[in-house]
Amino acid sequence: MIRHMFKLIWNRKRRNYLLISEIFFSFVVLFAVSTFALFTGIRLSEPLGFDYEDVLVVQTNYEDAQQTDSLSEREVKDIMATMERELRSCREVVDVAWGSSNLPWAGSMWRTSYIYDGIERDYSIHYVSDHFADVMTMPLLEGRWFNADDDAAAITPIVINRKVCETTFGDKPAIGQIITDDDDETPVDFVVIGVVDEYRYRGEMEVSEPSIFFRRTHEDSLTLYAGTALVKVRPDAGVGFQKTITDRLAEISHGWIIGVEALEDARNESLRNIKINALPGVIVALFLVFNVALGLFGILWYSVSRRRGEIGVRRAAGALAAHISWQIIGEALVMATFAILVGIILAIQVPLLDIQPQISTAIYLLAMICSSLMIYMIVAVCAMYPSRLAARIQPAEALHDE
């Protein structure tokens, strides 16, 4: 029976060409939407490697203020140190740290390449202070974080994330490994003192990058200084505390522009932008699938009306109503199968060509399965009512019409 239906649809391929094409394009659209949905779901379920709750980001325009007010580098450093002491004196503040401009959800990246074992690799660079791991609640997998003992370190200490261990060191122990920067005339070595877990600072939709953390203090040069404060506050601090911080720090800095934002708000804004950008694609996909469903429903209905004589002969020959109904549904599913096979051939090219390296092959395969099941479900639902109409055709009535 199944072989007969495939042969029947194949012989009518010219008549069914447009409908099969519509189902094919619907599969392609559903494949794209399913891939994005699966990728998003998996990314949202994976850990970020830090805690964004109850963390405030304090931005300063010290570079503009330094030029406008003719402040020396020493004066700028003293103002920032005073800001930190003022923040720590607040009852609502738990801890304070400093970070570079490429903070989580800041939309900024800082990448460079270093050498290990003769191979040059790219890394994401972050300049942070001693309390950064505590403020961001970043668990250590090995070693330790920066502290005052590193002031007299002979080799510049660095902390890496787990991705560096996987891509650079492999099965070797990370602690004590040396990474070299040879961009200057004199190569500079960095020694690994600690390993943190993931650090997906660009948000839930991005994969983990090999990240290296460098230590910075108020005594470091402003050209490499981390000029953004991260403030861990108590859960009961309230929104009004942001205004308090802005006013107090503006007074200390003699008029610097101070911006305060909750890190959670930055995350929510990022997720909202992702939803807004994805909405047009979802609407187009739903519109296309809806139109295909209407077209399929109409074509099957019209096909049943044209085949009344054929169906009547089959009923007169003893075919049951259920057999007629399943034949109509089966033919619709066979048309969907032809469209899906062509769609799968096209979809397989995406992982083979590695168009999106951050999306794994498993996600693509799962998206193909989900898209196929959705197409079959839509086609079966659309064929349900025409198949019932066909099953109700009486032999005498159909033959009389002929």
Domain end (from 252, 268, 284)? 268
Name the pLDDT band for 302 (thresholds 50, 70, 90): low
Name the pLDDT band for 338 (thresholds 50, 70, 90): confident
Q: Is the same domain home to 35 and 75? A: no
Domain end (from 248, 268, 288)? 268
For 169-210, the pLDDT digits (tens) are 988 899 999 999 887 678 889 999 999 998 999 888 887 889
Provide the terminal-to-terminal Cα distance of the chain, rounded to the nearest Å: 26
Looking at mean pLDDT, say which of 107-111, 112-116, 221-225 comes out highest. 112-116
Q: Is the same domain home to 163 and 264? A: yes
Q: Is the same domain home to 280 and 164? A: no
- Axis-axis angle for helices 321-353, 308-316 (nearest 10): 120
Is the pLDDT reported for residue 319 higher than 70?
A: no
Q: Is the same domain home to 93 and 180? A: yes
Q: Is the same domain home to 170 and 286? A: no
Q: Is the same domain home to 30 and 60? A: no
What letters, b where the CB count within 10 A reaches 16 and e where it falls short, cover 119-154? eeeebbbbbbbbbbbebbebeeebbebbeeeeeeee
pLDDT, mean of residues 145-156: 90
Name the pLDDT band for 395 (thresholds 50, 70, 90): low
- Kindly give the residue spans of alpha helices, DSSP state H, lying in 216-320: 240-252, 263-306, 308-316
Q: Is the same domain home to 73 and 34? A: no
Nearest to 214, CA basis, from 184, 197, 193: 193
Q: Is the same domain home to 202 and 308? A: no
Residues 6+ apart with CB under 8 A from 158: 179, 190, 191, 192, 193, 212, 213, 214
Q: Cα 88–91–92 angle (5° rounding)? A: 90
Q: Is the same domain home to 227 and 305? A: no
Query: What is the spatial distance between Cα 303 and Cα 101, in angstroms, rounded to a whole number?
Result: 64
The answer to whether residues 265 and 55 touch, using CB atoms and an 8 Å cutoff, is no
Query: Which residues span the domain enclosing 110?
Result: 55-268
Q: Is residue 50 part of a domain?
A: no
Q: Is residue 356 part of a domain?
A: yes
Domain end (from 208, 234, 268)? 268
Q: Is the same domain home to 337 and 263? A: no
The answer to whether residues 216 and 224 touch, using CB atoms and an 8 Å cutoff, is yes
Q: Is the same domain home to 285 and 263? A: no
Higher-pLDDT residue of 225, 211 = 211
pLDDT at 217 (0 to 100): 82
Q: Is the same domain home to 263 and 278? A: no
Q: Is residue 363 part of a domain?
A: yes
Structural domains in the chain (count): 2
- Enumerate helices (H) and strands (E) in the chain, giving the number of each: 12, 11
